[in-house]
């Protein structure tokens, strides 16, 4: 369980997050949504101990994250940043092996256990055929899968993604999100991610946090959070909110302002 | 299958190393046959006294020195390229050379060199240590962001070389020339007493860096990613930076600044072995540096014999052409970073 308690951060004397508090329970698939630059990524980084809040605390299983050693923490929370330099010409197998670093000794020499773990993950994601390919030669969708494999190799209970689907086509997006859903439902992973696509957020997340100007505007199930009053205000645009007949989750259509006037 | 390929590469490198070693012993201002070389090496009695002296006291120390310096520069270049995340980095990117230049210039201008020969390498070493520490202190505040490190290196480099230039301008021309030639990189009159010391320092550093190959991999990744793997990236960079700097300073103290080898060998090795496994990349770079430099050194003695040309000229020409070849062979690869 993750508990974010009254967290505020600032960058260059400008407050980014103001008094953020929420809880993430076991088996949650939590989406963080909001405008560009509202502090979504910063919030994730606070969670992953990459940004230090100037006030407030983050607790994992009732223990303050500052009390964990670097290695201990790396075995509990894994993070997939929004931009990752994948231009290095490592091959896929070696790249995924980086995820095993928290389990290795000081010289970072993989043991047979690490090899087995990586192979298992590659089977699970059906990327065994890519094993010897160079990562800088892969397509966007394949790369994203490799990055997820790397994160999975870390074997953490909490996985944090910063916009895992941002530059994939809708087929690729669904591939990735179905994997995340599978991990969440069948492997008891807590998934925390930021998303731009509200429809995707609605379909896959069981809980949403909507940020506005660095504080939480609304949190709860998608049906509550994705109402057209809040969305229109936060995103400063006109939308129509309808119901998806199959999943019974809300979906959102943008409308051009001139058409309404 | 991969292991067989690597075994082949290592075997090939070892053979090349032995061959260059012999080549370097046999050729020079006058050629000495293989049989006589081996006789001299294994202390046979029926051999011309002069030849034994040439082999044992002139060519052997020089060849060993070029081997270890070549290996050291290649490895240190490899490490600097990783910590600076920049394929164009080399052992001298962070201004070590200008530190050495200032130290040496001071030694010559103050006339320390005439008191004792040992003062020149000593002053070079002091100059380099100061420049390395300044770059470290400038970078540590920004958590070793590669841009900050490179900029600090450039700034230190400018300040130190301007100071050296100032001394040049103010001092009598004869000492300037000797200082300048010393800096160019030269194996013809290094202090033989330094050989064992340099050899041990460089060899130990190379062995340590080879063992830490996978740790070097971690610093190539983005900072955020490495941190979420539970890696103390700043500690790792500090360790690698100082170890590589020690190698570089050891080489410069003995034989001046020898360019290009620290840039070209890591590139070539990445091309052959792959970026991926620094565990193999470091030893492979060491090996190829160890045969490339003695090879160039021998050429510098033989090509325009009896005139000895500075070794830097040979390494730069061969390295330059090799680089052009790599560029033409895989254009585009450098732009999208495949070389890292």
pLDDT in tens, chain A (261 residues): 899 999 999 888 888 999 999 999 988 999 999 998 899 999 999 999 999 999 999 999 999 999 999 999 999 999 998 877 655 678 899 889 999 999 998 888 888 999 999 999 999 999 999 988 888 888 888 888 899 999 999 999 999 999 988 888 888 899 899 999 999 999 999 999 999 899 999 999 999 999 998 899 999 999 999 998 999 999 988 899 999 899 889 999 988 877 766
Which chain B residue is nearest to residue A100, measuring alpha carbons?
B229
In a domain, A5, yes or no: no
The answer, for A134 touching chain B at a CB cutoff of 8 Å, is yes
Q: Which of A48, A89, A162 has the most B C-beta neighbours within 10 Å, making it the best mutation to test the interface with B?
A: A89
Q: Pick from A88, A89, A101: which is nearest to B230 by CB?
A: A101
Min CA distance, A134 vs chain B (Å)?
Answer: 9
Partner B contacted by A186 (CB < 8 A): no
Residue of chain B whose Cα is closest to the Cα of A137 = B338
Q: Which residue of A has its CA nearest to B279?
A: A109
Per the listing, tokens 């380099």 go with B128
In the prediction, which pLDDT does B277 show? 58
Nearest by CB to residue A102, choosing from B212, B229, B232, is B229
Residue of B nearest to A151 (CA): B229
Establish if B318 touches chain A: CB-CB under 8 angstroms. Answer: no
The architecture of the domain spanning B61-329 is Orthogonal Bundle (1.10)
Asked if the structure places residue A127 within a domain, the reply is: yes
CA distance A149 to A162: 15
- Please report the ipTM that was assigned to this predicted complex: 0.83
Whether the CB of B3 is below 8 Å from some CB of chain A: the reply is no
Residue B268, by phi and psi: left (phi above 0), alpha (psi -120 to 50) or beta? alpha
Cβ contact, residue pair B338, A50, below 8 Å = no
Residues of chain A positioned with their CB less than 8 A from the CB of B211: 107
| pLDDT on residue B1 | 47
Give B225's contacts in chain A (Cβ within 8 Å).
79, 81, 84, 98
Structure confidence at residue B337 (pLDDT): 43
Q: Looking at the complex, does the CB of residue A48 fall below 8 Å from at least one CB of chain B?
A: yes
* Overall domain count for chain A: 1
Of A71, A74, A84, the CB nearest to B222: A84
Which domain, by its residues, includes A145? 86-155
Residue A186, Cβ density class (10 Å: 0-12 exposed, 13-18 middle, ≥19 buried): exposed
B-chain residues near A77 (CB < 8 A): 228
Q: Is A115 on the interface with B (CB under 8 A)?
A: no
Residue B217 C-alpha, separation from nearest chain A C-alpha, in angstroms = 9
Q: Do A90 and B227 touch (CB under 8 A)?
A: no
Q: Determine phi and psi for B85, rounding to 5 degrees.
A: 50, 40
List pLDDT tens digits, range B187-213. Answer: 877 778 888 999 999 999 999 999 888
Q: In A61-139, where does DSSP find H-type helix?
A: 70-74, 92-97, 112-124
Q: Which of B215, B275, B277 sits opposite A107 (nearest CB)?
A: B215
CA distance B125 to chain A (A): 30
Q: Residues of B with CB below 8 A from A108's CB?
A: 214-215, 217-218
What is the strand order of the sheet A2-11 is part of?
A14-24, A2-11, A55-60, A63-64
User: Which structure tokens are listed for A249?
Assistant: 């989750």
Report the chain B residue with the minimal C-alpha distance to residue A95.
Answer: B276
Position A88 scores a pLDDT of 66
Within a domain: residue A95?
A: yes
Residue A105, chain B, CB below 8 Å: the answer is no
Question: Is there a contact between B222 and A81 if contact means CB atoms under 8 Å apart?
Answer: yes
User: What do you get for the CA distance between the two ends of chain A, in Å?
Assistant: 47
pLDDT beneath 70, residues of chain B: 1-2, 113, 275-278, 330-340
Query: Are the Cβ atoms of B229 and A87 closer than 8 angstroms?
Result: no
Find out whether A134 and B333 touch, Cβ atoms under 8 Å: no
CA distance A30 to A40: 12
Q: Where are the alpha helices (DSSP H) in B141-232?
A: 146-170, 173-184, 194-211, 213-220, 223-228
User: Chain A residues with CB inside 8 Å of B279's CB?
Assistant: 109
Q: Check CB contact under 8 Å for B275 and A99.
A: no
Answer whether A108 sits within 8 Å of B214, measured CB to CB: yes
Would you say residue A110 lies in a domain? yes
Q: Is residue A46 part of a domain?
A: no
The conformation of residue B309, written as its DSSP 8-state character, comes to P
Q: Give the whole-angstrom CA distance, residue A4 versus residue A60.
A: 9
With beta carbons less than 8 A apart as the criterion, state whether B217 and A98 touch. yes
Q: For Cα atoms A223, A225, A228, give the angle at the middle one, nearest 5 degrees.
A: 90
CA distance B230 to chain A (A): 5
Q: Which two tokens stand for residue A60?
A: 């994992």
Q: Do B218 and A98 touch (CB under 8 A)?
A: yes
- Domain presence at residue A27: no
Domain ranges of chain B: 61-329
Asked if residue A138 is part of any domain, the answer here is yes
Nearest CA in chain A to B271: A89
The β-bridge partners of B97 are none
Contacts of A91 in chain B (CB under 8 A): 274, 276
CA distance A241 to A227: 7
* Chain B CB within 8 Å of residue A158 CB: no
């Amino acid at each position: 369980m993750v508990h974010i308690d009254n967290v505020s951060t600032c960058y260059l004397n400008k407050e980014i997050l103001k008094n953020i508090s929420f809880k993430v329970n076991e088996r949650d698939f939590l989406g963080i949504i909001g405008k560009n630059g509202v502090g979504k990524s910063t919030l994730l980084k606070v969670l992953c101990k990459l940004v230090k809040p100037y006030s407030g605390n983050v607790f994992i299983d009732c223990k303050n994250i500052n009390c964990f050693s670097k290695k201990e923490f790396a075995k509990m929370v894994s993070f997939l940043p929004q931009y990752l330099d994948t231009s290095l010409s490592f091959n896929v197998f070696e790249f995924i092996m980086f995820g095993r670093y928290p389990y290795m000794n000081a010289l970072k020499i993989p043991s047979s256990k690490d090899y087995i773990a990586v192979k298992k993950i590659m089977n699970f994601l059906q990327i065994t055929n890519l094993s010897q390919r160079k990562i800088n030669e892969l397509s966007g969708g394949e790369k994203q899968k490799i990055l997820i494999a790397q994160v999975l190799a870390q074997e953490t209970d909490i996985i944090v993604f910063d916009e895992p689907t941002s530059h994939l086509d809708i087929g690729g997006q669904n591939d990735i999100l179905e994997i995340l859903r599978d991990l969440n439902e069948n492997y008891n992973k807590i998934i925390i991610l930021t998303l731009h696509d509200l429809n995707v957020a609605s379909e896959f997340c069981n809980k949403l946090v909507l940020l506005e100007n660095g504080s939480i505007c609304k949190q709860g199930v998608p049906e509550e959070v994705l109402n057209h009053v809040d969305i229109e205000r936060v995103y400063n645009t006109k939308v129509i909110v309808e119901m998806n007949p199959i999943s019974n989750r809300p979906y959102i259509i943008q409308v051009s302002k001139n058409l309404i006037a | 299958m991969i292991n067989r390929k690597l075994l082949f590469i290592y075997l090939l490198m070892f053979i090349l190393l032995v061959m260059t070693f012999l080549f370097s012993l046999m050729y020079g201002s006058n050629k000495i046959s293989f049989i006589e070389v081996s006789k001299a090496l294994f202390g046979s009695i029926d051999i011309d006294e002069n030849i034994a002296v040439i082999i044992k006291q002139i060519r052997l120390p020089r060849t060993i020195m070029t081997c270890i310096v070549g290996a050291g520069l290649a490895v240190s270049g490899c490490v600097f390229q990783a910590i600076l995340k920049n394929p164009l980095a080399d052992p001298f990117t962070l201004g070590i050379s200008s530190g050495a230049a200032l130290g040496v210039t001071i030694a010559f201008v103050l006339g320390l060199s005439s008191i004792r020969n040992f003062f020149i390498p000593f002053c070079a070493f002091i100059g380099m240590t100061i420049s390395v520490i300044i770059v470290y202190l400038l970078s540590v505040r920004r958590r070793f962001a590669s841009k900050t490190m490179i900029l600090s290196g450039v700034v230190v480099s400018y300040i130190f070389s301007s100071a050296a230039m100032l001394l040049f301008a103010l001092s009598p021309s004869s000492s300037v020339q000797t200082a300048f030639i010393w800096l160019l990189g030269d194996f013809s009159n290094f202090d033989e007493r330094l050989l064992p010391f340099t050899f041990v320092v460089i060899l130990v550093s190379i062995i340590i860096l080879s063992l830490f190959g996978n740790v070097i991999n971690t610093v190539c990744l983005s900072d955020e990613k490495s941190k979420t793997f539970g890696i103390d990236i700043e500690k790792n960079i500090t360790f690698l930076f100082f170890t590589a700097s020690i190698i570089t300073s050891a080489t410069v103290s003995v034989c001046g600044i020898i360019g290009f080898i620290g840039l070209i060998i890591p590139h070539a090795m990445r091309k052959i072995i792959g970026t991926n496994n620094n565990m193999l990349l470091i030893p492979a770079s060491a090996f190829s540096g160890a045969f490339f430099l003695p090879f160039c050194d021998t050429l510098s003695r033989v090509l325009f014999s009896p005139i000895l040309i500075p070794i830097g000229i040979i390494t730069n020409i061969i390295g330059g052409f090799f680089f052009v070849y790599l560029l033409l062979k895989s254009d585009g690869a450098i732009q999208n970073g495949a070389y890292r």
